[in-house]
Each structure stands twice: as structure tokens, then as C-alpha cells.
């Protein structure tokens, strides 16, 4: 079979490998041989970027701080020294580690020394879980690569530059917001800067399993289909896939590009929120071997019904920002993720929206384990530079990196390409391109976006957006009772949509400062928020074509757009829990509603 015919066949199966060498991530990086670079790093705060640009704002010829120069005599003039600089913990954001950096946006240089055991014939990579927003990486004075996008993993091969002893890794991280970035200058979450997720050195054989997709074939509950991609000179060597618990051992031969098509029948227990069954799946080729924990399930849209494993499912959801409980700052640990998901479980959720950017891989892997369905999205948020080709390429890269990382996670059922974006032809073209890209990468899952709505009359909300024609699941955000009128208005509203597709209310809610009391029409009180939730729940029961609801939000989170002193204090207060873990009355109202919907 020719390469093009093979790719066409894979697309028909609903699986497709990410193209473009610069985008091909090492799958399941945490399971690979290597060493962690987590821990204290030396840092230099550089608000004028003088460590990279000269006084004419041109890149310094000697590499600037990336060269890590040392004085060779007492007369040498070098105006920086990592070895006497302060430290920050990695993973972690700089904002919450130092009070003076809480509002800082700009460049911080990170430095870490490490040793590396080099095995003959092996290849070495430096892998980053995420760096917000732009990263420039230097190893031993040599620039090895750059990456843009604050929430997706990336890596660079350093085999030619790494040595056994005394390696110096330097990373320039810049989190400045700009109009043509993804996201753009205006968001409603904190712009946490830094090396916010894990950093690892990965050691693999000369030919290794770079990426794989092992999932159920689209439309089947008994046949596994996917692919394995090898990287290296021996990429024609055979590939073996083992699922010991299911008694499966299958061997496949890659084509000349190192791509092996995988397909076989299997008797397996399907993954679901009620029984989140995971299997150890091992992929072997030559000297390389990698094991993953994978669940198998189907998700499909059939008319206005959403089907999980062939059966209708009602999504009892809540949104969770990637902000750590109690301490604030970006989530990067399993302990933080487990606390957040446990709180979602207490609300009786079977579904979480992880807005408005890809969360740490620890979140999606833990969702697999705990049985929580996941909506995952990229930060195409509000109004961005729709007509800028580079902005589109950036969005496509982030989408590709998100799907590449999480395509084997059973929990992920929805890829979202946008949130609350205004209508217009350039926006429609931009987002349609992203939908097509997502579907080419993974058509086993469903595509959605949080759309905006309009009123047909004062009592009728219509969900009708030209983008809806391209989506598998139609979703919209609504804040009736908070941004749209007072709570009593909720009682008068009816809903319409022309789309014969599953429909989800992807946001609703109201602010309340925990412990703040008043009557049920006094803003920011627990009573007002509870009033909104009671009326929202009654409205949900009047929407016959509703397939799920997603409360905004599980926990109060930091936002520079929320300055009201004494109440907001730079927090969005729409949480069911406060940032200190206190349950607000709305928690109990939503929990009771979700318990009543368990059989739906």
C-alpha cells in the first residue's frame, strides 16, 4: 500500500498521525527512561530583555544570557551571573513564588545544571510539559530551539550537544501578551508565567517508538485500530502491541516512513464513568518498549442524542481552571488534580470542562483513572486576530499538540476549538479550518465550541451560529440572572436551536464571596448565587433537547479583570467552592440536580 493510500485508510478508521517533524511529540514522556529536571532553577528577571537584545534592540551576537559567559579576568565586564541569582521551583509559576512578581509580565531566564549518562547509539531529548508563553532554549551555549504557546508540551533533540558532565540548560521564558497571540491580550484568568510544568531529559534508543494511537475503531466496540510511528534509522523494524490482560499480542510492519497501521479484534471491557477500566498497553520495537494505561470506549453524536458506548449519556459537568486549590498558582501535581476532581465528584459530576487551554497531562490521566469525561480546548478565546495567517498557524500548532498528547485518553470526548468568539466571515473561516484540522487528526472524538447566542424575542434564546454546521456538538454559554438581567428573568426563558445535534449549556453561574450574606437579590452574596442556581436548574428541566450542563466554575480563581476590593480582590468568585475550599449553598443545589439526572 502506498503512503498516501495508507494515510487515507487511517483517516477512514478515524485515526491519523500528526504530520510535520517539528510537531511530532514524544508520546507518554513521563514513562520514558531519563531524569527529571524538576526542582530549584537559578533565575534572572529581565523586564527589558537585555539578556537577549542589545541597546539597538537587535539580538546579541554572542547569544546574551544564553551563552552563560563567565569573567576570564578581574577586568572582564559581564553584567549577569546565574550562579549568584535567586532560585525558583520548577514546575511552578513565578507569580506565586515571589510577591513582587505577582503582576509581572515579561522575561525570566531559567538555568539548570545537569549530568547525563550517554549510552552508545542512544538519543537524548529535553522535554517541557509547558512554558508560558514563548520559550527559547539553550544547551551549553547553543540555541537548540524555540516554542510558542503556553499550555502544550514540546521537546528538542540535544544528542549532538549534550555531554556526560556539566551541562548547562538555559531557558528564556516570556509571558507578555500580544494581540496576535493565542490567547490574545484580554482573558479572564491569571497569566501565570514560567516553566509551569515538568521538565525532563528523555533517553531513547537510536530507533524508538515516538508516537502511537491505540483506540477503538470508530463505530466499533470490539475492534482496536490505530497506528505506531517509529523514529530513527531502523524505522522499518517490526512493532509489537501487547495487552496482556486481554490476551492480545499483535505484530505489525511499518512502511518506509516508520508508520505502522494497527488493527485487531479484541474482547475488552469498555471504559465508562461508572467503571473506568484501564488496560496496560505495551508497544515494543527493537530495543524500545513503552507502556501506557489506556481505556477503550466509543462516543458519538446521533441526531440530538449523545451516545457513550452506544447508550445515551447526560453530561453532569463543571468547569475547572488549572489553578491549584488553597495555594493558587498553576496545577502541576497529581495531589492538586486529585483534590479538584474529588470536589467535582462531590458535586456528582461525570464530566469536567478543562477551560480555556490544555491542562497538565496529570489532569487527563487522572480523569481516565477516576472516570470523569473531559472537554479539552485551546485558548482561541474572545476576539483574536482572525485575519492573521501566523495566528492561525499558531492555533493549529496548539490544537495539534493538544490532540497529539491526549489522543489515547479515554476520558477526553470533546475537542473544543473556541470560546465566546464573535460572528464574522474571517472568524468563521479561521475556526472552520481548526475544526477540519481537529477532525483530520482524530475523528473518533467529537468537536465543539462554546458559541454565543441571540434573542429571537425577549423570551426566546436561539443558538444559531454558522460555525454550528461544522460542529458535532453545539454548545453555548449563558449567564441569565448575572450578566443578563436579574434571576427572575430565568423563569421566562425558552430555548431554540435549528441544529439536529447534541446540545450542551457550556457555562452558567453567578458570583458569590464565600461567607457574604444578604437577601437573594444582593449581588455577590451566597443567597444571590443560590437564587440563580435554583432558577437555572428549573430552566434546564424545560429544555427537552438538553444533553448536558457545565457550571461555571468549580473553584474561585484569580483574574486581573476582577478588581472589586473587599469582594473580588482579583478573583472570579463564581466558584461552587471558595479558593479556601469552602462549599457555597449553590454547591448543594447543583449536586441535588445532578443526582436526579444520574439515570438520564
Number of folded domains in the chain? Answer: 3
Residues paired with residue 156 on neighbouring β-strands, in sequence order: 126
The domain boundary residue, chosen from 245, 271, 296 = 296
Q: Residue 454 contacts by C-beta under 8 Å, 6 or more apart in sequence? A: 461, 462, 464
Note whether 189 and 251 are same-domain residues: no
Note whether 403 and 313 are same-domain residues: yes
Whether 585 maps to a domain, the answer reads yes
Name the residue among 181, 151, 24, 158 with its Cα closest to residue 91: 151
The pLDDT tens digits for 112-134 are: 999 999 999 999 999 999 999 99
Whether 168 maps to a domain, the answer reads yes
Give 66-131 as a DSSP string.
GG----SSTT------GGGS-EEEESS-STTT-GGGTT--SEEEEEEEE-----TT-EEEEEES--
Note whether 258 and 373 are same-domain residues: no
The pLDDT tens digits for 338-383 are: 999 999 999 999 999 999 999 999 999 999 999 999 999 999 999 9
Question: Which CATH number does the domain housing residue 217 bear?
Answer: 2.60.40.10
The domain boundary residue, chosen from 245, 269, 296 = 296
The pLDDT tens digits for 453-478 are: 999 999 999 999 999 999 999 999 99
Residues paired with residue 211 on neighbouring β-strands, in sequence order: 229
Domain enclosing residue 41, as ranges: 32-203
Note whether 162 and 278 are same-domain residues: no
The domain boundary residue, chosen from 271, 296, 321 = 296
DSSP letter assigned to residue 137: E
Note whether 380 and 283 are same-domain residues: no
pLDDT band of residue 12 (cuts 50, 70, 90) is very low
Note whether 460 and 592 are same-domain residues: yes
Name the residue among 270, 353, 344 with its Cα closest to residue 311: 270
Whether 27 maps to a domain, the answer reads no
Whether 210 maps to a domain, the answer reads yes
DSSP letter assigned to residue 19: P
Note whether 194 and 242 are same-domain residues: no
Mean pLDDT estimate for the chain = 95
Whether 220 maps to a domain, the answer reads yes
Whether 26 maps to a domain, the answer reads no
Whether 317 maps to a domain, the answer reads yes
Could you give the percent of the chain with pLDDT greater than 90?
94
| pLDDT for 599 | 80
Note whether 199 and 218 are same-domain residues: no
Question: Which CATH number does the domain housing residue 337 bear?
Answer: 3.20.20.80
| pLDDT for 16 | 40
The torsion angles phi and psi of 372, rounded to 5 degrees, stand at -115, 125
Note whether 14 and 122 are same-domain residues: no
Mean pLDDT, residues 444-453: 96
Note whether 410 and 546 are same-domain residues: yes
- Is residue 491 scored above 50 in pLDDT? yes
pTM of the prediction?
A: 0.95
Note whether 305 and 173 are same-domain residues: no
Question: Which CATH number does the domain housing residue 73 bear?
Answer: 2.60.120.260
* Overall residue count recorded for the chain in this entry: 600
Note whether 326 and 399 are same-domain residues: yes
Whether 502 maps to a domain, the answer reads yes
Amino acid at each position: 500500500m502506498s503512503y498516501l493510500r495508507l494515510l487515507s485508510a487511517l483517516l477512514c478508521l478515524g485515526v491519523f498521525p500528526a504530520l510535520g517533524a517539528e510537531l511530532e511529540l514524544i508520546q507518554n514522556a513521563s514513562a520514558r527512561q531519563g531524569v527529571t529536571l524538576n526542582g530549584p532553577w537559578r533565575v534572572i528577571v529581565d523586564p527589558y530583555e537585555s539578556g537577549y537584545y542589545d541597546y539597538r534592540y537587535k539580538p546579541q551576537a554572542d547569544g546574551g544570557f544564553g551563552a552563560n559567559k563567565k569573567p576570564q579576568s578581574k577586568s572582564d565586564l559581564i553584567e549577569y551571573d546565574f550562579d549568584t541569582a535567586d532560585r525558583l521551583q520548577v514546575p511552578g509559576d513565578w507569580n506565586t513564588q515571589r510577591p513582587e512578581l505577582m503582576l509581572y509580565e515579561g522575561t525570566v531566564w531559567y538555568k539548570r545544571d545537569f549530568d547525563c549518562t550517554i549510552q552508545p547509539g542512544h538519543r537524548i531529548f529535553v522535554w517541557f510539559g509547558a512554558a508560558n508563553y514563548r520559550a527559547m532554549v539553550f544547551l551549553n551555549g547553543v540555541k537548540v530551539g524555540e516554542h510558542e504557546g503556553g499550555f502544550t508540551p514540546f521537546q528538542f533533540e540535544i544528542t549532538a550537544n549534550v555531554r556526560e558532565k556539566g551541562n548547562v540548560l538555559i531557558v528564556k521564558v516570556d509571558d507578555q501578551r500580544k494581540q496576535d497571540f493565542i490567547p490574545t491580550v484580554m482573558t479572564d484568568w491569571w497569566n501565570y508565567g514560567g516553566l509551569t510544568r515538568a521538565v525532563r531529559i528523555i533517553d531513547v534508543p537510536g530507533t524508538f517508538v515516538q508516537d502511537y494511537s491505540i483506540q477503538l475503531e470508530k463505530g466499533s466496540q470490539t475492534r482496536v485500530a490505530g497506528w505506531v510511528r517509529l523514529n530513527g534509522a531502523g524505522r522499518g523494524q517490526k512493532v509489537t502491541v501487547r495487552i496482556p490482560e486481554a490476551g492480545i499480542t499483535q505484530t505489525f510492519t511499518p512502511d518506509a516512513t516508520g508508520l505502522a497501521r494497527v488493527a485487531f479484534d479484541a474482547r475488552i471491557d469498555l471504559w465508562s464513568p461508572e467503571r473506568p477500566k484501564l488496560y496496560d498497553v505495551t508497544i515494543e520495537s527493537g530495543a524500545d518498549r513503552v507502556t501506557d494505561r489506556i481505556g477503550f470506549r466509543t462516543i458519538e453524536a446521533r441526531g440530538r442524542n449523545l451516545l457513550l458506548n452506544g447508550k445515551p449519556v447526560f453530561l453532569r459537568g463543571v468547569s475547572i481552571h488549572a489553578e491549584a486549590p488553597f495555594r493558587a498558582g498553576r496545577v502541576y501535581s497529581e495531589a492538586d488534580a486529585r483534590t479538584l476532581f474529588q470536589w467535582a465528584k462531590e458535586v456528582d459530576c461525570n464530566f469536567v470542562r478543562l477551560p480555556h487551554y490544555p491542562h497538565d497531562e496529570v489532569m487527563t490521566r487522572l480523569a481516565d483513572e477516576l472516570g470523569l469525561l473531559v472537554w479539552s480546548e485551546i485558548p482561541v478565546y474572545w476576539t483574536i486576530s482572525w485575519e492573521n495567517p501566523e495566528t492561525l498557524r499558531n492555533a493549529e500548532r496548539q490544537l495539534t499538540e493538544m490532540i497529539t498528547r491526549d489522543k489515547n485518553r479515554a476520558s477526553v470526548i470533546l475537542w473544543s476549538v473556541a470560546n465566546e468568539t464573535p460572528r464574522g466571515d474571517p472568524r468563521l473561516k479561521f475556526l472552520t479550518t481548526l475544526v477540519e484540522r481537529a477532525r483530520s487528526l482524530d475523528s473518533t472524538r467529537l468537536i465543539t465550541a462554546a458559541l454565543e447566542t441571540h434573542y429571537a424575542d425577549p423570551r426566546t434564546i436561539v443558538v444559531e451560529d454558522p460555525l454550528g454546521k461544522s460542529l458535532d456538538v453545539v454548545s453555548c454559554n449563558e449567564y441569565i440572572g448575572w450578566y443578563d438581567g436579574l434571576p427572575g428573568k430565568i423563569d421566562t426563558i425558552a430555548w431554540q436551536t435549528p441544529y439536529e445535534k447534541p446540545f450542551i449549556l457550556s457555562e452558567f453561574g453567578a458570583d458569590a464571596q464565600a461567607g457574604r450574606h444578604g437577601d437573594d437579590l444582593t449581588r455577590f452574596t451566597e443567597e444571590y448565587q443560590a437564587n440563580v442556581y435554583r432558577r437555572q436548574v428549573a430552566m434546564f428541566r424545560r429544555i427537552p433537547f438538553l444533553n448536558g450542563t457545565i457550571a461555571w466554575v468549580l473553584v474561585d480563581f484569580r483574574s486581573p479583570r476582577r478588581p472589586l476590593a473587599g469582594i473580588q480582590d482579583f478573583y472570579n468568585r463564581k466558584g461552587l467552592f471558595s479558593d479556601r475550599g469552602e462549599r457555597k449553598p449553590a454547591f448543594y443545589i447543583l449536586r441535588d440536580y445532578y443526582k436526579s439526572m444520574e439515570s438520564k
